[in-house]
Amino acid sequence: MSVIIKAAPLELMIIGGAALGAYIIANPMKVIKAGFKMSIKAMTAKGPQKQDYVELLQMMFQLFQAFRKEGPQGIEKHIEEPDKSDIFKAYPSFMHNHHAVHFLCDTMKITLSAEMSPYDVDDLLDADIKAIHHEEHMAVHAVQTVADGFPGLGIVAAVLGIVKTMAHLTDGVEKIGALVASALVGTMLGVFGAYGLIGPTATKMGADIDAEGRYLGCIKAAMVALQRGAPPIVCVEYARRSIMPEERPSFEEVDKATKEIKKAA
């Protein structure tokens, strides 16, 4: 380990510096920032869990109930200023998802201000999800490209080490062996970084995007059902059925959650 510990800082400086430079040169600033942000999130956060979906279904049921009872005027204050909404503030997991907040509120604004068929709403929300995912997938592709380049950069670092070694051919076998070992650390770090760290991070980023898409898809199912004129409980059931079985709350759990809202009302 002493050889690796001694050689690692210099090798990482060569590999990491080249990789960072390539990442910055190859991508626009918004993708660079998104890549760093999503990488940190991939390593520190989980996607929406069952409880997050229960809160989402509760929130939509409460919002749709207010819309049914009070009409557009009753929910206008909530969708115009979601940060000040009593309904939204009661569900922090939803409020922390800025994509979801704009996704829901902007859709309700347009459906209240213009006549739209359920098919139009469906197409509108699909286009929004596609646009959000396209931008995020650019960041995933950028990070994956860095991972793909890491082994090559490790070889570059190793070749530089061999070049250095060539100047010590008369210094004896032990000296040459130590220099070659240090050079090979670059190859090892390049391969390890690609397949043991950056590549898996990019894969997790893609999984997080898919999870976010399922969360938005749940909102979409409820919004389309609302546009068809379905009652709030049916809209929520459409949304519940769109959730993957592993994350989907049971009918009884949602029924209990909606009954709590009715009692509070």
Please state the domain extents for the chain.
2-264
Query: What pLDDT is recorded for position 4?
Result: 79
Q: How confident is the model at residue 46 (pLDDT cuts 50, 70, 90)?
A: confident
Over 80: is that where the pLDDT of 59 sits?
yes
What does the pLDDT average to over 61-82? 87
Q: Is the pLDDT of residue 206 over 90?
A: yes
Within 8 A by CB and 6+ apart from 243, the residues are 53, 214, 218, 249
Contact 59, 258 (CB under 8 A): no
The structure tokens listed for 83 are: 């940060």
The percent of residues in the chain predicted with pLDDT above 90, rounded, is 57
The residue-averaged pLDDT of 111-138 equals: 90
Mean pLDDT of 223-234: 92
Query: Pseudo-torsion of CA 116, 226, 111, 66, nearest 10°?
Result: 150
Residue 114 has pLDDT above 90, yes or no: no
Give the pLDDT score at 135.
83
Query: In whole angstroms, what is the distance from residue 116 CA to residue 119 CA?
Result: 8
pLDDT band at 40 (very low <50, low <70, confident <90, very high): very high
**Residue 265: pLDDT over 60:** no
Cα torsion angle, 178, 183, 185, 188, sign: negative
For residues 183-208, give the mean pLDDT.
92
Choose between 17 and 6: higher pLDDT.
Answer: 17
Q: Can you tell me which residue has the tokens 């907040």?
A: 101
Q: Assign residue 91 a region: left if phi > 0, alpha if psi is -120 to 50, beta otherwise? A: beta
Least confident of 60-64, 185-189, 225-229, 261-265: 261-265
What is the reported pLDDT for 22? 94
**Residue 213, pLDDT above cutoff 80:** yes
Whether 27 has a pLDDT exceeding 90, the answer reads yes
Residue 48 Ramachandran class (φ > 0 left, ψ -120 to 50 alpha, else beta):
beta
Task: Output Rg (C-alpha) for the chain, integer angstroms.
Answer: 26
Alpha carbon distances (Å) from 191 to 84, 227, 254: 50, 52, 47
Tell me the average pLDDT of the chain: 90
User: Between these two residues, 140 and 174, which has the higher pLDDT value?
Assistant: 140
Quote the pLDDT of residue 141: 95
Closest CA to 204 of 131, 136, 250: 136
- Torsion 78-56-71-119 (CA) sign: positive
